Structure 1
Amino acid sequence: MSPKPGMYLTRLRVEQLRQFRQPFELRDLEPGLNLFTGPNEAGKSTLVRAIRAAFFERHRSTAVDDLRPWGDTGAAPAIELDFMLDGRACRLSKSFLGRKRCSLHLAPRAGEPTAGQQLEGVEAEDRLAQLFGFQFAGKGASKSEHWGIPGLLWVEQGTGQELHDAARHARDHLHDALQGLIGGNAAGELAATGGDEVLEQLRAWRAELLTPQGRPRGAHSEALEQVQVLESGLAALDTRIATYRQQVDQLASERALHQADEVQRPWDRLRGELEAARQREAALKATQRQLDDDRIRHAQREQTRGLLLEQIEAHQQQAQERGRREAALAEAGTRLQASAAALAPARQQAEATRAASVRAREQVQAARQDEHRRTLLEQQARDHDGAARLQDMLDRARAGQQALVQLRQAAAASAITLAEVQALRQLDARRRHLALQREAVATRLTHVLQPGQRVRLDGLALEGRGERHLSAPAVLVIEGVGEFTIIPGGQDLATLARDEAAAQDGLLAALQRAGLQDLDEAEARLLTHEDLRTRIQLAEQALALSAPRGVEALAEEADRLAARRLTTATALARLAPAAEQAGSHTELGAPDLARAEALQDSTRQDEDRAAAALSLAQQQHAASLSREAEARRELDAVRCALDDPQRLERHAEAQRQLLEASAERDALATRMASTQAQIEAIRPDLVQQDLLRLSRSIEQAEQAHQRRREQILLLEHDLHKAGAQGLEEQREHAAGELGRARRRLDELQRRAAALDLLCRQLDARRQATITRLQAPLQRHLDACLRLLMPQARLQIDAQLAPGALTRPDHGGVAQTGEFGALSFGAREQLGLISRFAYADLLREAGRPTLLILDDALVHSDAGRLAQMKRVLFDAAQRHQVLLFSCHPEAWRDLGAIERPIVRPA
């Protein structure tokens, strides 16, 4: 078995603290791993808060109202802790608010002759702070910056990944522990509250001149900016002086060019060339207009010639058309005779088939009337049976509906819900529970009287042997002795009596609202109501079977059936008597409906074919008549046109006009070709280009002359203004200012370089000391980390907090990242491992340790959680660990007995 740690809790008792209004106690805590489980709000975090309050809060503090149970302003939270410290049994008792006190009892170690120590009040609290490495707040509630070592090792719910602040607050105590491990000199050089004042002063001076990255700041940056501004100003003056000299030369050149333009006037020559180009353009436009007119007349002559050719060709075609029209008329007459011969037989056949179809239709009508009579008689019989059945169903449905209405009225009269009864049950149960509690805590008076002795209790005589339960003050009278007033219980009993009376009143009020005498009547009414609801459901089901769509729908269906019976009877009365129909059938051969309909279909098809043949013959005859008349009209028109006396004159005139139009067309074509050749020789595009070029040249020459004049005036103005500014004198003054600024900058740069060199050398010396100081803590951290990440290394920074994590990636290449860049779950895991290393370091230095983990590692996956269980179990071999969790199934393989915490009633 592993050796016991130097400090571990053995018992925790709380009373009137948040959920724990009644006393609650955890006994027989193990020196190693202790697992406490329970659902949310069972009180796990409250117990952790109680341990923190017992150590961190002053017993006279008024900032601990959060410890009170809700709604109980008179409560006095009390905490009692038993723990072992270096083999010595200790007990810390502390209560707040209503009863402010604190006591610390330190029992003697085994073999010591002393009687131990008993410390009270502030003295006890200061002794605790000295033993465990924390401090108290000067005013108000204790905060994380006061918690020191316990604040580092006691992890609150949801803060496992937050370590740097806790390590910073515990840094002084860690340095004290390290001082005994590595020697006083090294630890003294890095005293947690001191530090190297010279180095800090040098860093402060360096920070006045340089940023942490070595860039200028403060006066150094201002001097550098001033040099840059002066250099820019001097460069600007040099540029202005050079510009001034350049403008003097430019002014002389511009004046010479302007004078030459005034003498030569080149724009006048260009205007003469522009006028000649405009004359060429006017002549070209006149030639183009003549060409356009000739093209129009040529097109007109060509159109006239085409019309004349069409007229002459039409005259020739009319003579040929006469023969064709005569042949077409003869052919149309032959076709007309043939169609007239085919029309008569088709008409006779159509008449015969129409008469046969009429006879077949009369037979079908007679057969259908017989079939309809039989159908109506069958329908009449079915409707008679259906009406009797519907009437029976309607009677049953109406009776069931009446019974259902009565059941619903009875259910409404006895209406009560299960929730109402349950509420009454709860009120009655609370009343009975309070009565039992009051009876349990009531004062019991047991008497054994001698024969003949007279004793009265509240006026009632007591005799022989018996027992009374007193829950209220009572007067005991003993004759010959006197009276005794017995006041039982105390505040709790009085409270229970008031609560019982209030519960009784609440039950009576609820019964009155429901119109009930007692709970039994409510239970009976509930049973009656449930029975009525069951009977209602059965009645509804029976009604649904009798009338699935409702009684009204059933009644409407009966009315519709009665109306249909009347309609059937009326239809039968309208039919001819059966005897008459039978005689009629005898005359027609009395066919049945199928044979009559088949015969009707056959005669109808014959009639349709005959009608179609007649229609075709009529269409062919009409078409032959139309073609014969059209051929005759066309032949008459051709003959009339050929016999016209003026036809020959029009034909001769058309030929003469055709010759004249052809001659004029040819003359216009020759003149158009000559004109087009003249235009192409002149090149219209070049004429337009000359006009545009010369116009732009004139405009540009005049604008250039005007711009040069304006430029001369502007240069004269700028030179006059620059000459009045004294640029040379300004440059001499700026050069002097720049020299002084550069000397100032050189001085600050030399000072910054010297301070930077001193700080780097002193930092190197300090880092070597820090490395020696970190070695014991780094050793313990490496040992714990190997259980989770065998090939990883977590560095310790100068504040003794986790820094960079180095570990191989999937390819085996070492990767380094900061602690704060890790995932939430990884930071929580490494935070707990770091706390175990701090605990090992403190244990090595002989300091007390206690690890408290409230719902830790809830963000770990299954694989990491299994590894962290090994780490946790290993730490529990050297330290006491109190683990609180609302997930008991996650810790069943931890190797610790699960101790459930039941939520207080």
Structure 2
Amino acid sequence: MSLIIRRIAVDGFRKFRTPFAIEGLAEGLNIVIEPNESGKSTLLEALRAAFFVRHNTRNQLAQSFAPHGEAVGPEIKVGFDVDGAPWTIMKRFLRSPSVEITGPEGRAQGEEAETRLNTLLGSVRDTSRNGDISTYGALGLLWIAQTEALSVSAPGQIVRDTIASTLEAEVGSIMGGEAYRRVRARVDAQFGLYWTPTGQKKGRQTEAHERAQRAEAAVREAAERLAALERSFTELEASRRRLKSVQREIADNTDVQTRKDLTASLEIARAAAQILSTRKAEQEAATGKFSSLADLKDRHEMAIAARDTAMAALQAARERRAEVAEVLARAKDKAATARIGLDSARTERQVARSALTAGEGRLRLSRRLAAITSARRRHEELLALEKQHRDAEVLAATAISAKSITVLEEHDRAVAEAQAIVNAGATRITVSGQVEGITLDGQPMSIGEWALTRTAHIRFGAAELIVTPPAAAASAEETLASALRKRKTALEELGVEDLAAARTRNEAARDAAAELRTLKARIAAVTPADDVLALTAGAEALKLFMSELEEAPGQDDNASPDIPKLTEALETADSNLARAEGVLDSAIGALRRAEEEDAPLATTEAGAVSDLANATSMIKTIEARPEWATLDADLTKAGEIAAEAAVKLEDAKRDATAHDVTAINRKIEVIDARVRTSAEARTKLETEIARLEGTIESEGGLGLADRAAAAGEEAEAARAALQRVTEDADTLKLLRDTLEAARNETSAKFLGPIAKRAKRYIAQLLPDCELTFSEDLALSSVVRAGVDEHCASLSRGTQEQLAVLTRIAFADMLIEQGKPVSLILDDPLAYSDDGRLDTMIEILSEVATRMQVILLTCRDRAFRHVPGNRLMMAPS
């Protein structure tokens, strides 16, 4: 079954932001040679999207279809033939997604269209995020994008299943007969009771393992419970001994007396700590007073220094600004003068431009007047030609069709034939001599021969002769009359007298039709396009222009303007304007430099003024404080008070060290904790003793020893059952593996037809070689001169060539199965040398005789000489 892509149109798909279409694809070899970045690979991706990506998917692949930065709905339309029947598909993604397919069975949309497309192309639904070409069927194998052919890979499962049916028909029962299939099915059924398809344990094995595990768990539980009961007796005795020891510790009064002594020492230590806190507060107050007075004096000294510095900076800034002021004034005057010159130059340029515009307008008017005069002349000639054209059309319309002429000829022939029949059957009489007084049916007769076709009465004076012709003559006469009536009716319908007149009218109509073609050419000659009048070619445009022309244009009496002189004047004005702009830019630059020099000086002056004001304000604020007048005396006195407070603080620290409140509290806490711990230990031991006594009472009468023995017997039985099931499972696995090995031995015969088809092509590239295919139909190695070379070790160029050739071999087998097949190669054979490239081109040309082949390439030199249908990529 042939698949012929006829047309591909895309809109809003990746780099194709505007509508684009490639048409004219034909059977055989199609070659599209375009430079890089022209969208060849994008075109192949659009084909795959149209045929295999569901319209309503929003996976990562579909999201990549939209042009970067645009929120549009990519749309693809493809026209193609399948087995000679035309099909079209339109698919839209992301925004308002839709699909519509039209074919011999009619039109379908939505899911029905997707199902119909999958059925037609032998593909399945793709649920991956980035597109799985193995779900595309045969076309996923044969539509090869860039780099996809750089390594030899296996076809997808769909293609393998399709090819398998062809191979099984060729090799017969080498895969095993009916007996083999029954045995294998039985073994697989038993194998499924013990193993998963991946070789993991299941079913009976799992049940036997679970039984053994339950039995082992029961044994462990019974043993643990029996051991726990024995431990309970031992733990009960130990807990009773620990309880007696704790009760003796609680009855001892030593800790009670020690705690009373520590409580008395604690009161003394608290009083010393209170005195220490008081001394710390006094020392901190004295130190704070001294620091505050010292800080006030330091700030006054810093403010005086800042005032002196600000005054010096202000004086320097004012002196420098006075120097710059004169330069700034001169720069302003120069800029004003340059601006006046620029305005004058602009006015001059405007006058020159206006003069040039007016001159060009007069020139255009002169040309328009001449063009209108010519248009009027051509319009008059056009009207005369159109009148001749109408007359010729009327005459040409009188042409009689060949069919009507043929009918007239048939009528003439029928009349002649009827007349001949009448003449042949009529009674002939000859009259001679004196004919006066002789009449025929009452009419005088003349000398000569008469043909009588009906009964005639001839009178000779008083005698009468009755002549009766044969009966056939009457019917012939009626036939002749009928033929004459028909001819007359046909001539009257056509409005001609006879056949000769009809032919003459036809000749005149034919001459008029020829004249029509001549008149059309003359009309086209007198109605050319006119750029001056913005008039397009054609009679209608000329007549419309003349109808809209209100009145006859006057004559341009003004002399033609001197456009070169006016242009020269404008160029001079432009030069003057450019010089004036340059002078102004220079003046503005000088002014800007002067302003830039003055700006930091002004900033410095303002900063100095602000610093001087701040320093003066701070000095006044400090000297206005009440403590300023006696600051020196107060500072000395505060230093003495701070020293005295420090001495008192040291004395208080020595007294507090002798009685440490924290240490005493820690000792009391240790005693209290020991008492609490003893009480808690007694409570816990009493609880534990009660629990153990209850456990011994409840567990002692349950027969735990008997239970442990029964659990051991069940465990032994479960282990034996597990061993039997394991042996059965291993035996089935071994049997299945043996059958698989036997099947693998026959796989060479199964793969033989594939190797034979592929070798037909590969032998042209690699003579005297043998091919080896893997179980998944992938070309695994090539044997040359007794050396087995794995495909992965071959050069990139050889791998690419082998990948293309094996795909062609698979395509031949798919054609035999009646599958829709075509071959698309995107930038193929990039690593091929010149010799192998020529060989591959010959193979592709030969393959194109059986299927459509589309080459998308940027290598013009490599494919320039290849015969085929060449196409260009251009916007629609």
TM range (shorter): 0.3 to 0.5
Of structures 1 and 2, the larger Rg is shown by 1
- State the TM-score, normalized to the length of structure 1: 0.41
